[in-house]
Amino acid sequence: MKIELAELFPSCAILVKADRAMWTTPLCKEEEQLIEKAVQKRQQEFRAGRHAAHQALDKLSAPWEPLLRDEKRQPLWPTGFVGSISHCRGACVAVCAKANELASLGIDVEPLEPLPKGVDQYIHTSDDHATMAADSALPERLIFSAKESIYKCYYPLIGEHMGFQSVSLSIDADTMSFDFIPSASNTIPFPAELKFHGRFMTSESHLYTGCYLTSV
Ligand SMILES: CC(C)(COP(=O)(O)OP(=O)(O)OC[C@H]1O[C@@H](n2cnc3c(N)ncnc32)[C@H](O)[C@@H]1OP(=O)(O)O)[C@@H](O)C(=O)NCCC(=O)NCCS
C-alpha cells in the first residue's frame, strides 16, 4: 500500500511541508528572538517549522500570533488549536487542527536511513525487536520515528517526559498504521478516554510518521 503524506491525518488536519524559501526567510521579531544565539542549521530548521505551522494555521483561519514555546520546547499554539512540527536534514513538516476536532497530534520526519549503530537497543523494547525482525521491509527508523510522534502527541496533554522503553509498537504494514502498548514498567498516565491513531509513509528520501487522538 502507498499513501500520500496528507493521509497520515484526517482531512480536518492541515499538513504543510516547508518549501525552500521557508528555511531562510526570517520570522517575526518574537520568534527570531528564540533563535538569535542558535547556529545557522538550527535557525533554518526553526524558521521552516514556524513558517509551515503559520501556513497551516492560516488555512484553519486561526488568529495570527507568534508561535512561542514552553521551557520543554513545546510550541504554544493559539487557543483552540493543536499542532506538531518536525524537521530533519532536507525535510520539515507542520500539522495543525482545531482542538474541538482533534485532541492532540504528533508528527515526525526522519531520513530513510538506518539508525546509528547500537542506538536501537535504547529505542526498541524486546517486543519492538521482534516486530522489526518479523518484517525486513519495514523502514529501519520506524519505531524510533513513531515513538517521537507519540511523545509529541501526548506531551501537551500529560506534561511528562516519556522514555523510549515506555511503550512497544504494533505495526500493520498493510494499512501503514501503528498503535502502541504501554510496557509493564510504564508509569505514564495515557488518557483512556482518547483513542489513538497512527500512520506512516515513506518518500524516496524520508520516513514520516503521524499520530492523533480523538474522543472515543
Ligand atoms: C522532543 C523530541 C521528540 C523532538 O524531537 P527532535 O529529534 O528534536 O526533532 P524533531 O524535528 O522531530 O522535533 C522537533 C520539534 O518538536 C517540537 N517539540 C519539542 N519538544 C516538544 C514537546 N515536549 N512536546 C511537543 N512537541 C515538542 C518542537 O516543535 C520542535 O521543533 P522546534 O524546536 O523547531 O519548534 C525529542 O527531542 C525528545 O525529547 N525525544 C525523547 C522523548 C521521546 O521521544 N520518547 C519516546 C516516547 S515513546
The CATH number given to whatever domain includes residue 206 is: 3.90.470.20
Ligand 1 atom having least distance to the Cα of 150? 48
- The whole-model pTM stands at 0.97
Residue-wise burial string across 47-58, b where 16 or more C-beta atoms lie within 10 A, e elsewhere: bbbbbbbbbbbe
**Ligand 1 contacts CB of residue 155 (under 6 A):** yes
Ligand 1 atom having least distance to the Cα of 108? 12
pLDDT single digits (tens) 130-164:
999 999 999 999 999 999 999 999 999 999 999 99
Mutating to test ligand 1, I would choose from 74, 143, 148, 155 the residue with most ligand atoms within 8 A of its C-beta, which is: 148
Residue 1's pLDDT is 80
**Ligand 1 contacts CB of residue 166 (under 6 A):** yes
Q: Average pLDDT of 80-106? A: 98
Tell how strand 91-98 and strand 104-111 pair up.
unpaired
CA dihedral 47, 178, 174, 127 (to 10 degrees): 120
Helix or strand holding residue 206 (H, E): strand 206-215
pLDDT single digits (tens) 22-79:
999 999 999 999 999 999 999 999 999 999 999 999 999 999 999 999 998 999 999 9
Domain count, the chain: 1
Domain around 56: 5-215
**Ligand 1 contacts CB of residue 150 (under 6 A):** yes
Ligand 1 atom having least distance to the Cα of 72? 23
Mean pLDDT of the chain: 96
